[in-house]
Structure 1
């Protein structure tokens, strides 16, 4: 009979020719399973067979909730075969959020005290995989009892792994857990096998990773009415101190594994026990990260020994095998996460560079990702391996190319910009239609690079833009085309600009060369049209090529008008270019052709084009002297300079303020809006600024800053240089070697409080970020750090807080900041005298 066994059921499902047939088989079998499981007299063997089918339905994504109770019945059976399948199905079909999980408590209690160690092992595995906080607290004493009294390494290993999982589930277990128990097992050499060692290390990792959740647990207890505790001190004294003495043992164990005298039972590709080595390195990283965060001298005293150990591991580990690469990767992680000495950081970069030269794409991807995080710490060391990064740009894997692109832009600076940009252009030459996302990413960041750095050779910069348009112009968004037009317009080297534009127009006008430019390359056509309109006279004066003349430029605009008649956006550029070119040439035939081009659109169905064409025709009929004044070449676009961009980013100030906006509007209204006019007409600027400010309802006629600096730069400088002083009533709530924090209560009434936090730098700190939390019965609104988030020694910044709600006024503050490139986190609590 079809579907009588699991094997035949799977075969029927796989042989289904249509989705409807498959659905029919699954629905029928699911109904049969539901009916059979209701039969109390169903034999155990058939019951197990139906649960196996249920697991296959779970794999297919079908509903299996009707079999959950049956899983618990199987677990409660005395038959080991039933129990084994029951635990497996419980782990798959149940989750920690379901109420049915409480039915497992008694069963797990019984199985954890069973005489059969394999039954105990099943219970421990299930408990670690599937336990809620309540279940973990209920059965934790039984697990701890196993750790204390069992002499079977197999059971101790399982119990340790289960303990690590339960601590992750519920950090309150740390209050009843005895770390001395783990250190005792570690010192028992007859018990401490390979599996037990892995279990001990997992427990250490769970303890170290639970510092943050444990603080939250203590804070919740305090909010609910418990006594106030210093969570950091509590964690160190009660939980961390008993396990700190094992650090030298971990060092010794790692040195033994890394030496030549290794056990062949755990050898993998010539590396001794790579799984244990990786977990040991990861555990040491967690130890020292927590020691640095808590300023724990007992841990940090071993830092030099850690550096020696990492050097030994990096030197002795074979990087040609995947197992060795895994260990070396963990070594680089700990080097950079702890920001160790510069020689070690360089060693870490060299290790990652070796990964790039391999053939395994997974290893390359991991190395590129890690190097991206490492560049801010060791930019010069990463740049030395640029040839390996360049090879990754040619990798067939699109993900490798994407990461290599990100890393290439990360190491780009003023010193290597020429070489790196050339490599990126070669990369664009090799791209295909499938690489559109990479093309857009490259163009966007290249434009940003030229905005960020001052390029001495403007001709080379414009040539790069033209080559980008030629290679990938059809993929470029209009916003980036606009940035390219700004760069062309603002170029000061007129000779270089003219040469680049002439070379560009050769490809547009020459019939043979024009085949290299796709008709779909709208960006190329748009820039060519715009440049003909703006710089037609400059191009004609410097063109030595007979192909570039008044007739060819006019003909090109006419051809584009026919080719792209459906693209209204491009037609608008063509109309503007035709109008502007008409005053830059003197051939009457060509001028008339340009006029006819505009006249054709005066009856265009598109109202925008029709309106523009009518207006342009009116301008066309004006005397040449009037037209020439109206159609002058565009002035330099007022784009922030490189220095202004960096300053505004660092200080996080708005880019636009009212005086500057008013001045920009005045620029547009002037007949000769050049930079010199700003310098020579300061009074006129001020008057116009005041006038526009009056119109917008925000005038301040007596604003001295606006009078002295109409562009608003003075206002920005004034805001950035503003100083904050500590209030006399401020109370010091935290102090360390880098920062002092003071609190000032402005007001505290029923239901609301106004507070201020002051951060005083004892050393130069940068990128200060403050995060605050209040009890559950209250709500908090935080202001920004003022005046800035980077402080020199003895500088002060403040932050305003508004608390609403009820209850005692308490505050938990977490501040992170950077000192010499190293990120430091500080967390502390403070209880105010008042209540809401």
Structure 2
């Protein structure tokens, strides 16, 4: 039975036992509402009930376009109850881009002149929320008339806030806005100038400053002369306006100072703080005054700089941080200090405020929201005051163990931001402790607040950044670095992707202390090969296995000769058996990446042992893949067998130890200023070890004097490998000389998402029964985007195939990348898309998510 009232409709929807039942109830009710609204004789009372149901459908995400006109018609009623619901429905169901807004012009005009102030307030709210440029210009005189003629604080507050919205829509309205009314009528009259009116004044002033800031930004990107002249004229007009309102600074400062005093007005008291909303708005407004004034060097504003500094100090000192309202004011104070780049004592004061957000002992009411704000802001200010932030390492480390995953990530980002050469040992110890805890088993650590996917993300993030910091700072203490790397591998190797393990190999290979390195791996290999610890041989830690395979190929001869090696455990037979066990393990798991390393280690090991039986086992490891279904493995197996049969003297020449890998130089000072926000460096050595014979020569520097092969020796390899090596070299040279791909937005692309940082467009390539071919174009709006990772989901009846992003996962401002989607199956085309990315070289990950429905079916 279809519900007859809103209450019973909601009860029926919530009581539905299955999704199909809920869909049936909603469909029937939607059809009934559509039918009722078409009835011209329907009473306003019943029309209101149906509009209320329509708003509930809107909340559920259902289609409500069929009720837009009826919502507007409800506004025409003389009954206040009808108007109130009509305006509410209009604000929710319409947006400022729809042509239906033209129907509102006369209604709003009439209501703005209505004798009932509450109806006028409804019209002002709607105009502010839904105003298009045309509507703003048409109805602005009515709003200005209210400002000039009305003395009701309630109406003045609404009119000021509406006026601020109209200025946002059309900056040309500034030319006719009566600025003198702010000081002459509003601020000068204590009866009119209530807290609400002051809030409205602040909003208007902020709209003026934001408009000028946009104009200044456009002026910095000049294109043609005509446009340049118009921008310059706009800037000069705005400067004149700002000079004319600069005398408001002392009045606003005085009011802010009095609000912060202890003489509270009970009507505006919020948990012991007098009107925190107005205090925050006054701080933001004054910040805009000095931000624009200092940028343009206007004497009318800069003369108050010292007074504003003293005011911020007073606010920071007198405001209690025991409650959230106080924290909000302190946060605005801190933002003002750092955005205006004020003096060093004030910056230290701002950091102390932020650190207090993290200190449970001083602030018993510190919640996760306050912690998150504190950590997030500290990350941004580390480059300006690194020493001041360093003092709060203890409190930052405590946040690593919070239950909230977002707090953990922000605490990690801040920990890496403050890490430098002096404190790397201390912070690494803390991070190793943190890794040890989150790497524990599912049952001993995971709670209802944390799942293993979150733990894996934290581990990968921590290890990635630790490797970067080791490369930057820990060159002097290689012993501690090696011990840390092995500890990380043992604790977290099961969570780390094999591609990232290459960074471990690069770090290990480039260490200069060969004796300690051989001693360490000798002990590790002894522990693995000890029959008492046989269970450790196939422990499932792929990254640790990979490192040991690589070390066997590189250092077996040195390990066997080292004084600390137990010759009864570590010998030719045990090493080869360990390698054979790993080969069998990863062949069964079809992990071809590990097999590549095992084959290379087996070949290199053949030049370091003399035992005939062990040599035959090594040959069997290589030959076992000569008929592999994977073409690359099969090719490599055949090539390596040719090398295996060469004389030992020739093999030793070709299979020398790897030279130092050349890495991209990292500027330490730049890393310190952007280490929390730095994008991942290009890993140029991802595949260095996959193909020893071809990739080593190609990826070493042409000026490198430590090349393992001379040109003459390379010719011998080319003769042995025949065409395979040549094809590899030709393909390599082709890739290097190919131009960078540039993606442009096609003319037929349709905008499907406009977020804070990204715009997404869609273009249909082909849609046929059972198959759809689409392209997504992702554009960066205001900031450089790096490491973007698109995630898409489709209904269960469909299957989605995603291509790689072209040309890369990084997007410069205004640039575009392309993603191809192929959808097979049946049903309506619907997508849920989540874009994870890093902004402005910020290591902290952000995301935008949206749903998109195509009016197509496959």
Normalised-by-shorter TM-score class:
0.7 to 0.9
Equivalent position of 2:209 in the other structure: 208
Query: For each residue in 1:246-266, what CA deviation from the matched residue of structure 2 results, as whole angstroms up to 9, or x when unmatched?
Result: 111111111111111121221
Query: For each residue in 1:149-170, what CA deviation from the matched residue of structure 2 results, as whole angstroms up to 9, or x when unmatched?
Result: 1111111111111111111121
Query: For each residue in 1:400-425, what CA deviation from the matched residue of structure 2 results, as whole angstroms up to 9, or x when unmatched?
Result: 11111111111111111111222221
Q: Is the 8 A contact 1:454 1:642 kept in 2?
A: no
Out of 638, 653, 657, the residue aligned to residue 629 of structure 1 is: 653
Q: CA deviation at 1:225?
A: 12
For 1:221 and 1:581, locate their aligned partners in 2 and report how far apart those are by CA, in whole Å: 67
Out of 511, 518, 527, the residue aligned to residue 547 of structure 2 is: 527
Equivalent position of 2:359 in the other structure: 357
Q: Is the 8 A contact 1:164 1:203 kept in 2?
A: yes
For 2:638 and 2:65, locate their aligned partners in 1 and report how far apart those are by CA, in whole Å: 72
For 1:666 and 1:487, locate their aligned partners in 2 and report how far apart those are by CA, in whole Å: 18
Equivalent position of 1:783 in the other structure: none
- Worse overlay, 216-225 or 5-14: 216-225
For 2:541 and 2:699, locate their aligned partners in 1 and report how far apart those are by CA, in whole Å: 41
- 1:595 is the counterpart of 2:619: yes
Out of 692, 707, 710, the residue aligned to residue 667 of structure 1 is: 707
After superposition, the Cα gap between the structure-2 partners of 1:222 and 1:623, relative to the gap in structure 1 and judged at 3 Å, is closer
Equivalent position of 1:400 in the other structure: 407
Q: Is the 8 A contact 2:572 2:611 kept in 1?
A: yes
Out of 298, 301, 306, the residue aligned to residue 300 of structure 2 is: 298
Q: Secondary structure at the match of 1:667?
A: coil
- 1:381 is the counterpart of 2:401: no
- 1:65 is the counterpart of 2:87: no
Equivalent position of 1:271 in the other structure: 273
For 2:89 and 2:245, locate their aligned partners in 1 and report how far apart those are by CA, in whole Å: 37
Within a 5 Å distance, the mapping from 1:38-53 to structure 2 comes to: 38-53=38-53
Equivalent position of 1:150 in the other structure: 150
Q: Is the 8 A contact 1:425 1:468 kept in 2?
A: yes
Q: Secondary structure at the match of 2:610?
A: coil
For 1:655 and 1:486, locate their aligned partners in 2 and report how far apart those are by CA, in whole Å: 10
Q: Is the 8 A contact 2:498 2:542 kept in 1?
A: no
Equivalent position of 2:754 in the other structure: none
Q: CA deviation at 1:146?
A: 1.0
Normalised by the length of structure 1, the TM-score is: 0.75
Q: CA deviation at 1:338?
A: 0.5
Within a 5 Å distance, the mapping from 1:743-758 to structure 2 comes to: none
After superposition, the Cα gap between the structure-2 partners of 1:281 and 1:558, relative to the gap in structure 1 and judged at 3 Å, is same
After superposition, the Cα gap between the structure-2 partners of 1:629 and 1:228, relative to the gap in structure 1 and judged at 3 Å, is closer
Q: Is the 8 A contact 1:172 1:217 kept in 2?
A: no
- 1:176 is the counterpart of 2:176: yes
For 1:539 and 1:221, locate their aligned partners in 2 and report how far apart those are by CA, in whole Å: 70
Query: For each residue in 1:761-812, what CA deviation from the matched residue of structure 2 results, as whole angstroms up to 9, or x when unmatched?
Result: xxxxxxxx9xxxxxxxxxxxxxxxxxxxxxxxxxxxxxxxxxxxxxxxxxxx
Equivalent position of 1:195 in the other structure: 196
Normalised by the length of structure 2, the TM-score is: 0.73
Q: Is the 8 A contact 2:213 2:292 kept in 1?
A: no
Query: For each residue in 1:87-139, what CA deviation from the matched residue of structure 2 results, as whole angstroms up to 9, or x when unmatched?
Result: 11111122211222112111111111111111111111111111111111111
After superposition, the Cα gap between the structure-2 partners of 1:474 and 1:146, relative to the gap in structure 1 and judged at 3 Å, is same
Equivalent position of 2:236 in the other structure: 233
For 2:666 and 2:112, locate their aligned partners in 1 and report how far apart those are by CA, in whole Å: 68
After superposition, the Cα gap between the structure-2 partners of 1:668 and 1:225, relative to the gap in structure 1 and judged at 3 Å, is closer
After superposition, the Cα gap between the structure-2 partners of 1:229 and 1:574, relative to the gap in structure 1 and judged at 3 Å, is closer
User: What value does the CA root-mean-square deviation take over the aligned residues?
Assistant: 3.2
Equivalent position of 2:121 in the other structure: 121
Q: Give the structure, 1 or 2, with the largest relative contact order (CA under 8 Å, sep 6 or more).
A: 2
For 1:355 and 1:364, locate their aligned partners in 2 and report how far apart those are by CA, in whole Å: 6
- 1:335 is the counterpart of 2:342: no
Q: CA deviation at 1:646?
A: 7.3
Equivalent position of 1:791 in the other structure: none
Q: Secondary structure at the match of 2:552?
A: helix
Q: Secondary structure at the match of 2:78?
A: coil
Q: Is the 8 A contact 1:447 1:480 kept in 2?
A: no
Q: CA deviation at 1:213?
A: 4.2
Q: CA deviation at 1:597?
A: 3.1
Number of residue-to-residue matches in the alignment: 673
Q: CA deviation at 1:490?
A: 2.0
- Worse overlay, 301-310 or 220-229: 220-229
Within a 5 Å distance, the mapping from 1:231-630 to structure 2 comes to: 231-237=234-240, 239-358=241-360, 359-432=366-439, 433-434=452-453, 435-453=455-473, 455-513=475-533, 515=535, 519-542=539-562, 543-545=564-566, 546-565=568-587, 566-630=590-654
Q: Is the 8 A contact 1:506 1:513 kept in 2?
A: no
For 1:645 and 1:148, locate their aligned partners in 2 and report how far apart those are by CA, in whole Å: 57
After superposition, the Cα gap between the structure-2 partners of 1:243 and 1:518, relative to the gap in structure 1 and judged at 3 Å, is farther
Equivalent position of 1:725 in the other structure: none
After superposition, the Cα gap between the structure-2 partners of 1:84 and 1:669, relative to the gap in structure 1 and judged at 3 Å, is same
For 1:644 and 1:175, locate their aligned partners in 2 and report how far apart those are by CA, in whole Å: 50
Q: CA deviation at 1:473?
A: 1.3
For 1:660 and 1:594, locate their aligned partners in 2 and report how far apart those are by CA, in whole Å: 28
For 1:158 and 1:102, locate their aligned partners in 2 and report how far apart those are by CA, in whole Å: 22
- 1:26 is the counterpart of 2:26: yes
For 1:96 and 1:221, locate their aligned partners in 2 and report how far apart those are by CA, in whole Å: 31
Q: CA deviation at 1:575?
A: 2.5
Q: Secondary structure at the match of 1:475?
A: coil
Query: For each residue in 1:507-531, what CA deviation from the matched residue of structure 2 results, as whole angstroms up to 9, or x when unmatched?
Result: 4223555656873311111110110
After superposition, the Cα gap between the structure-2 partners of 1:547 and 1:179, relative to the gap in structure 1 and judged at 3 Å, is same
After superposition, the Cα gap between the structure-2 partners of 1:631 and 1:68, relative to the gap in structure 1 and judged at 3 Å, is closer
For 1:631 and 1:225, locate their aligned partners in 2 and report how far apart those are by CA, in whole Å: 65
Query: Bigger radius of gyration, 1 or 2?
Result: 1
After superposition, the Cα gap between the structure-2 partners of 1:108 and 1:503, relative to the gap in structure 1 and judged at 3 Å, is same
Query: For each residue in 1:599-638, what CA deviation from the matched residue of structure 2 results, as whole angstroms up to 9, or x when unmatched?
Result: 4444444443344334333333333323322322222223
Q: CA deviation at 1:645?
A: 11
Equivalent position of 1:775 in the other structure: none
Q: CA deviation at 1:532?
A: 0.9
After superposition, the Cα gap between the structure-2 partners of 1:669 and 1:285, relative to the gap in structure 1 and judged at 3 Å, is same
For 2:496 and 2:75, locate their aligned partners in 1 and report how far apart those are by CA, in whole Å: 62
Q: CA deviation at 1:224?
A: 8.4
After superposition, the Cα gap between the structure-2 partners of 1:94 and 1:182, relative to the gap in structure 1 and judged at 3 Å, is same
Q: CA deviation at 1:454?
A: 5.2
For 1:74 and 1:485, locate their aligned partners in 2 and report how far apart those are by CA, in whole Å: 71
Equivalent position of 1:103 in the other structure: 103
For 1:615 and 1:346, locate their aligned partners in 2 and report how far apart those are by CA, in whole Å: 64
